[in-house]
Amino acid sequence: MLEAADTTRVTPRPRRSAPPAWLVVALACAGQFLVVLDVSVVNVALPSMRADLGLGAPGLQWVVNAYAIAFAGFMLLGGRAGDLYGRKRMFLLGLGLFTLASLAGGLAQQDWQLLAARAAQGLGAAVLAPATLTIVTAAVPEGQARARAIATWTAVGAGGGAAGGLVGGVLVDLLSWRWVLLINVPVGAVVLVAAVLWLTESVAGGRRRPDLPGAVLVTAGLATLAYGISQTEAAGWTAGATVAPLLAGVALIGAFLVVEARTAAPLMPLGLFRSRAVSSANVAMLMSGSAMFCMWFFMTLYAQNVLRYTPLEAGLALVPTSLAVIVGSQYAPRLMRRLGARTVAVTGTLVAATGFAWQSTLSTRGEFLTAIMVPGVLMMLGAGLAATPLAALATSGARPGEAGLVSGLINTSRTMGGSLGLAIMSTIAAARSGGSTSPAALTDGYALVFRTSTGILLAGALLMLLWLPRTTSAD
């Protein structure tokens, strides 16, 4: 540099060395933390949002599902875009959109503005999330090191979902519900600057055009199905207001599959599912997500609406579950080496089912230890144990040029199952409570939700035992 300053000749700028793998993993995990945090952080703020913006019960569900459906529907497109146009570029684009949408949501003055902002957040998350996992797998060579990196990514993501209740409770109690969204703005800005400085670009795929029609069809199909399910609460399953959107949603999903089978560059190549690892892990993740995603929603509602916890108290009550899901995710790779990925996934699912079964015995006078802490720890310890082997199995079945696509697919399966599961479980709870807001009626509805989730998880464990490959190469 000094020599160049003292002479008139221009020296080539040295190529910047690659950043250490731990720094790349840390930045990717920070992005994933924000994405998953926003799935759950609004739960404890829902009563405050309802009072401030006049949201009804269906509106509260859509505060969560507007984000989740946009997230699930466009994540495949986000994964493919990362392969085609660069993982760093998509990381920055997704995080930027997510941050701006968080600002818009925090400043919303009407219910439709909040729901639109949540959908925009979901779109940004759909671009960001698959890039985070692909950046992690590209930075760490396959083997035990990659298994540990994936476990860290899983733990951070799961921890984001678990920490949402605590973070939301603190912000709502000390500031207002708006800060559960506004807090993303400074954090997102810091991660953006760090990513610009330290991430390196990687592209794995030809310059094919992304399948935008496929993304629109699958998102519209999911949203329409969820809307139809939510209509059953007021109109019943046989009413035209319910049947019409359900049929339309099925038709849109069918059209999506037709488009994918015929287009030259499909968003979701159906041939991917010829891989046993990819197909079985995604179906298992779909089933697990449909049960586990709604846990935070109903646990926080139970704590506030039945046990009369404040938002901060409800968030603090879920801290042990935050620790449990991180412990499960971090311990999973060790068990995978000893027992194999399939055995760990099945064991984790059975542990979670035990927690859900316990939670289904909740009452209006539940004690913290037996009504929230112990069953919550079992639910999320099992979730952490199961998620890592399922993600590892799915990505082990991908070719390098399809890594982003499969990363997006496994995230889509989890979130798609969660969004549809939340719509179904909300309907089940409302039907059982019969429209009453008394603690006894609400408790009956929540208990039925946890019993239903227990059955889904037991069925999922059986499916994993019969279908999942025994191990991955990382084992």
395 vs 106, more confident? 106
Range with the poorest average pLDDT among 9-23, 29-43, 60-74: 9-23
Q: What is the average pLDDT across 65-85?
A: 78
Q: For 211-265, what is each residue's pLDDT tens digit?
A: 788 878 887 887 888 788 877 766 777 788 888 989 999 999 999 989 888 887 7
**DSSP notation for 83-95:** HHH-HHHHHHHHH
Give the percent of the chain with pLDDT over 70: 87
> Is the distance from CB of 351 to CB of 378 less than 8 angstroms?
yes
Check residue 151 and give its pLDDT: 74
Residues 6 or more apart whose CB falls under 8 angstroms from that of 95 comprise: 31, 34, 124, 128, 188, 191, 192, 195
Check residue 459 and give its pLDDT: 95
44 vs 1, more confident? 44
Check residue 247 and give its pLDDT: 92
C-alpha neighbours within 13 Å on the C-beta side of residue 94: 33
So what's the architecture of 19-200+267-467 in CATH? Answer: Up-down Bundle (1.20)
Check residue 346 and give its pLDDT: 95
Check residue 38 and give its pLDDT: 78
Which tokens is 105 given?
């949501």
Q: Of 235, 325, 253, 310, nearest to 69 (Cα)?
A: 253
Give the percent of the chain with pLDDT over 90: 25
So where are the chain's domains?
19-200+267-467, 212-266
Reported pTM: 0.78
Rounded to the nearest integer, the mean pLDDT of the chain is 82
Which tokens is 229 given?
């399910």
Q: What is the average pLDDT across 125-136?
A: 81
Check residue 16 and give its pLDDT: 54
The pLDDT confidence band at residue 9, using thresholds 50, 70 and 90, is: very low
Check residue 1 and give its pLDDT: 34
The pLDDT confidence band at residue 204, using thresholds 50, 70 and 90, is: low
Q: For 157-203, what is each residue's pLDDT tens digit?
A: 766 766 777 788 888 888 888 999 998 899 889 988 888 887 777 66
